[in-house]
Amino acid sequence: MGGFEELGRRLDKLAETVKRTAREGIGKRARDAKEWGKKLDELGDRVRKISYEGLERFTGGAKGLGQIGKLKLEIREIEKKLTDKFEQIGEKTYKLYLEKKIKNAEFEELMGEIAGLKKEMEDKKEKIEGLKKREDKKQNE
């Protein structure tokens, strides 16, 4: 089941890219805002593609994979919500940049939502690992 670990690594790498892109986007000028939005869209597409690949890889075969598939779908939904939150951050940053009012306090609510979504996603990933280990144990018996 090394494919799942690879998927996890790829998703972690994408998450880091999204974070980096969001941080870079904060300092962008108005004319760069559209390009930044396109980058976020591309990252969202890559996250969805990797999620679909992972779902296809783990939905056929042994018992318990149905639960894994369901959790993978829920993770994909969370990733979409994360992407939406990063877009909101970018839009808000852009507006505040134009108004010359960028303040960290105005981003606290979005940051809290992102942290909550990440925690929820990690919990589901841990549940997948537990189910996967249980299925591996059953197959080896």
Q: pLDDT per residue over 51-66, tens digit each? A: 777 666 665 555 566 7
Q: Is the pTM of this model over 0.85?
A: no
**Residue labelled with tokens 């942290």:** 115
d(CA 18, CA 21): 5
Range with top average pLDDT, 21-30, 32-41, 106-115, 117-126: 117-126
Higher pLDDT, 44 or 59: 44
Collapsing DSSP to helix, strand or coil, 83 comes out as: helix
pLDDT score of 89 more than 70: yes
Average pLDDT over residues 103-126: 79
Report the 3 state secondary structure along 37-102: HHHHHHHHHHHHHHHHHHHHHHCCCCCCHHHHHHHHHHHHHHHHHHHHHHHHHHHHHHHHHHHCCC
Contact 51, 76 (CB under 8 A): yes
Q: How confident is the model at residue 16 (pLDDT cuts 50, 70, 90)?
A: confident
Burial class (CB in 10 A: 0-12, 13-18, 19+), 18: buried
Collapsing DSSP to helix, strand or coil, 33 comes out as: helix
